[in-house]
């Protein structure tokens, strides 16, 4: 009997999805792909495969999990299996350069960005920025490696010091700093290629913005900054009745790039211009924000995958009936 297969490398992030599958009575199996073997002479099982591989896997000592997953996805797709967030989606997950190049094809504005390999080239690239700039990792997640600089001297001290964090793929991005009138960004969530909701994220505590509940309880690899003052506004808040033309562009972008489930982040500058800067195909949700709004991402994912599985089973049954009648 076919089932849903969840491909991942972080069990904590899958816990809410397990609960959603259980509540909806959906059959599933997890493939934890931190390491293993892949026999290319064997056909994969029938089912719907949901890829949740993360660009930040190396922070959990799963250095080659994305590469291993890429091989598994190629194997699945070669056998015609249904893959949600396929090999192309994984390519975008692990490279912001690839993201920005693809987003440009849909007229989606991104911040001016220069990719650099080597410390001296990072400094050289920053010299081309007219004002403040940030550095970030090309392959990262949760805002890993994001630093704000207002001068070349400060950057030189950082990249030549012990605190410098190189990207796991060796590529550091130097990006213009977008000054927002208020300290927040917006993350737009999609399930089944359709808009689910938008969430406003307070950035006043820093750049490492992981919405998963596991990040809120002291995960050293997913910090959210210092303790907020008493009576502080929620850091994650779902925007009621969000409506913007960018949604249609995002939907075309994800449809054409093998993405079924994703969160896409943008920031607006003082003139209201939107800059998209991150595509998360391994998206997570904040339970407090969802409870306040009555919207639940993992439940929506489970329903979507359940529909995909049902359609697959119906097609298989129809094919078997035709074969039996022949």
CA distances from residue 266 to 14, 39, 104, 164, 201 in whole angstroms, order as listed: 25, 41, 14, 26, 10
Dihedral angle computed from the Cα positions of residues 237, 239, 244 and 250, in that order, rounded to the nearest 10 degrees:
50
- What value does the mean pLDDT take over residues 75-91? 98
Instruction: Categorize the per-residue pLDDT at 319 as very low, low, confident or very high, splitting at 50, 70 and 90.
Output: confident
CA distances from residue 217 to 21, 47, 102, 229, 233 in whole angstroms, order as listed: 24, 34, 35, 17, 18
Q: What pLDDT is stored for residue 324 in this prediction? A: 87
**Read out DSSP for 247-289?**
HHHHHHHHHHTT-SEEEEEEEE-TT--EEEEEEESS----HHH
pLDDT digits (tens, 9 = 90+) for 161-194: 999 999 999 999 999 999 999 999 999 999 999 9
Q: What pLDDT is stored for residue 232 in this prediction? A: 55
Cα 304 to Cα 307: distance, rounded to the nearest angstrom: 5
Q: What is the mean pLDDT of the chain?
A: 91
Q: What pLDDT is stored for residue 208 in this prediction? A: 53
Q: What pLDDT is stored for residue 220 in this prediction? A: 27
For the chain, percent of residues with pLDDT exceeding 90: 84
Q: What pLDDT is stored for residue 216 in this prediction? A: 43
Q: What pLDDT is stored for residue 35 in this prediction? A: 97
**Residue entry with tokens 């030549």:** 160
Q: What structural domains and CATH numbers belong to the chain?
A: 113-176 (3.30.1490), 180-300 (3.30.470.20)
Q: What pLDDT is stored for residue 131 in this prediction? A: 94
Cα 196 to Cα 240: distance, rounded to the nearest angstrom: 11
Judged against a pLDDT cut of 50, whether residue 158 lies above it is answered with yes
pLDDT digits (tens, 9 = 90+) for 119-139: 999 999 999 999 999 999 999
Q: Which of the pair, 326 or 270, is modelled with greater confidence?
A: 270
Q: Which of the pair, 203 or 97, is modelled with greater confidence?
A: 97
Q: What pLDDT is stored for residue 231 in this prediction? A: 41
Instruction: Categorize the per-residue pLDDT at 325 as very low, low, confident or very high, splitting at 50, 70 and 90.
Output: confident
Q: What pLDDT is stored for residue 224 in this prediction? A: 30
pLDDT digits (tens, 9 = 90+) for 279-308: 999 999 999 999 999 999 999 999 999 999
| Pairing, β 172-176 against β 194-202 | unpaired
Q: What pLDDT is stored for residue 223 in this prediction? A: 26
Q: What pLDDT is stored for residue 206 in this prediction? A: 66
Judged against a pLDDT cut of 60, whether residue 271 lies above it is answered with yes
Q: What pLDDT is stored for residue 326 in this prediction? A: 74
Note whether 225 and 202 are within 8 A (CB).
no
pLDDT digits (tens, 9 = 90+) for 236-268: 999 999 999 999 999 999 999 999 999 999 999
What pTM was estimated for this model as a whole?
A: 0.90
| Pairing, β 47-51 against β 82-84 | parallel
Judged against a pLDDT cut of 60, whether residue 218 lies above it is answered with no
């Amino acid at each position: 009997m076919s089932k849903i297969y969840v491909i991942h490398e972080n069990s904590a992030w899958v816990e809410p999805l397990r609960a959603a599958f259980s509540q909806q009575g959906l059959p599933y199996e997890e493939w934890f792909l931190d390491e293993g073997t892949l026999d290319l002479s064997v056909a994969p099982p029938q089912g719907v495969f949901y890829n949740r591989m993360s660009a930040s896997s190396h922070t959990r000592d799963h250095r080659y999990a994305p590469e291993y997953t890429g091989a598994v996805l190629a194997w699945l797709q070669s056998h015609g299996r249904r893959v949600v967030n396929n090999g192309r989606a994984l390519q975008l997950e692990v490279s912001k350069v690839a993201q920005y190049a693809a987003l440009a094809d849909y007229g989606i504005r991104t911040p001016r960005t220069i990719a650099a390999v080597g410390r001296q080239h990072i400094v050289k690239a920053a010299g081309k920025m007219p004002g403040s700039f940030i550095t970030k990792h090309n392959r990262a997640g949760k805002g890993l490696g994001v630093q704000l600089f207002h001068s070349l001297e400060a950057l030189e001290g950082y990249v030549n010091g012990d605190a410098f964090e190189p990207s796991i793929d060796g590529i550091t991005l130097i990006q213009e700093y977008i000054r927002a009138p208020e300290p927040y960004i917006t993350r737009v969530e999609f399930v089944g290629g359709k808009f689910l909701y938008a969430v406003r994220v307070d950035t006043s505590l820093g750049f490492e913005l992981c919405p998963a509940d596991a990040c809120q309880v002291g995960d050293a690899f997913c910090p959210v900054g210092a303790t907020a003052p008493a009576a502080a506004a929620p850091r994650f808040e779902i925007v009621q009745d969000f409506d913007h033309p960018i949604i249609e562009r995002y939907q075309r972008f994800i449809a054409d790039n093998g993405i079924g489930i994703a969160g896409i982040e943008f920031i607006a500058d003082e003139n209201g211009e939107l800059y998209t800067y991150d595509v998360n195909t391994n998206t997570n949700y904040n339970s407090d924000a969802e409870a306040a709004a009555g919207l639940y991402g993992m439940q929506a994912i489970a329903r979507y995958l359940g529909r995909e599985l049902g359609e697959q089973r119906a097609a298989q049954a129809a094919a078997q009936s035709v074969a039996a009648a022949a």
